[in-house]
Amino acid sequence: MAKKWGQYVRKWMTQKMDLPQDVMMDLPRITMIGHVHIYIENHRGLLAFSDGEVRLMIKGGQLLVKGKAFVIKTILPEEILLEGKIDQVIYINE
C-alpha cells in the first residue's frame, strides 16, 4: 500500500510541478540517433557487454540492447553512450 501511495505522489508531483517523469519516477531516459548511437541515462549499472549485446540494470528490470560492432564511447555511473549497429532494445521485467 505504501509503495503504491509513493508512486501516486510522485506522479501527481510530476504533473503539477511540470517535472520530467524520468527524474521523478526513477526511469531510464533512452535517446537513439538512427540505429548507430544510443544514449542511456539513469541506469543502475552495466551487467554485461560484448560487441553484440549490452545489458544494463534499470529500475524494475533490465535493458538489453542487441546489435553489432558495439563500442562504449562514454560510461559514467548513471550514463552510457553506445555506438554500433543497434538492432533491438528490449526491456526485461524482473
Confidence of residue 26 (pLDDT cuts 50, 70, 90): confident
Confidence of residue 64 (pLDDT cuts 50, 70, 90): very high
Count of structural domains, the chain: 1
Q: What is the CATH number of the domain that holds 75?
A: 2.60.40.2000
Q: Lowest mean pLDDT of 25-29, 54-58, 67-71, name the range.
A: 25-29
Residue 45 lies in domain:
27-93
Residue 79 in domain: yes
Q: What DSSP string describes 31-59? A: EEETTTEEEEES---EEEE-SSEEEEEET
pLDDT at 14 over 80: no
Residue 50 in domain: yes
Residue 16 in domain: no
pTM: 0.76
C-alpha distance from residue 30 to each of 13, 15, 64 (Å): 22, 21, 12
Residue 5 in domain: no
* Percent helix, strand and coil across the chain, each to the nearest 5: 20, 55, 25
pLDDT of residue 94: 74
Residue 81 in domain: yes
Residue 64 in domain: yes
